[in-house]
Amino acid sequence: MDQEKAVRVFKECGAFLQGHFLLTSGLHSPGYLQCALVCQHPKVCADLCKELAREFAGQKVDAVIGPAMGGIVLAYELARALNARGLFMERGDDGRMTLRRGFSINPGDKVVVAEDVMTTGGSAAEIVELAEKAGAVVVGVVSLVDRGGAKRFEGRRVASALKVELPTYKPEECPLCKQGSSAVKPGSRKQPGA
């Protein structure tokens, strides 16, 4: 996807935030991409997913799986573009991803894992592992935003609407914290340790 266009879309949707943020990974960053502000616009989200679906043109995909919360809308729209089922995994009481609500993966299903933002790629990797344990064939990993997490999936087909390099810091090394600023958590998941 054209990166200038993708940046413009995120900025027009008010989704490219600057400040001091605590990411789901526990890292701090001066930039945050709030994909929910993009996905609240169905046509914009659908158009981005159609672009991402081109990566799998001519390939049969049975299901697209995203993590709750951020990957639900993306998985649904990408599944629509690929004429596949749209599923999501949720964290169970043990903190691990699981399929619930009657969703299932069949052995041999060809699946795409869809994530809103990949910083470390941890949630997407967890879904890849669970899908493969269920006998599915993971044909690719897709994200609206790649903050570097796609590197984790080297050797797999990976597609992102926006690739952006924003610095991340361990909390104890964060220059923003050292300046007295407090990190805010704009995402949907609990803060690490909370």
pLDDT truncated to tens, each residue of the chain (194 aa)? 788 888 889 999 999 889 999 987 788 999 888 888 999 999 999 999 999 999 998 899 999 999 988 889 999 999 999 999 999 988 888 888 877 888 889 999 999 999 998 888 888 999 999 999 999 999 999 999 998 888 888 888 999 999 988 899 999 999 999 999 999 988 655 544 33
- At 99, which CATH number? 3.40.50.2020
In a domain, 194, yes or no: no
Asked whether residue 136 is domain-assigned, the answer is yes
> Which domain does 136 fall in, by range?
3-178
| 31 domain-assigned | yes
Residue 191 falls within a domain, yes or no? no
Residue 168 lies in a domain: yes
Residue 192 inside a domain? The answer is no
Contacts with 107 (C-beta within 8 Å, 6 or more apart), sequence order: 134, 135, 136
Residue in 37, 40, 31, 32 with CA at minimum distance from that of residue 14: 37
Which spans in 20-121 are helix H?
Answer: 35-39, 42-53, 72-82
As for how many domains the chain has, the answer is: 1
**pLDDT value for 193:** 39
pLDDT of residue 95: 83
What does the angle CA 92 – CA 148 – CA 94 come to, to the nearest 5 degrees? 10
- Per-residue confidence (pLDDT) for residue 192, from 0 to 100: 43
The rounded distance, in Å, linking the Cα atoms of 36 and 192 is: 21
Whether residue 115 contacts residue 142, with contact meaning beta carbons closer than 8 Å, is answered with yes
Residue 117 lies in a domain: yes
| 193 domain residue, yes or no | no
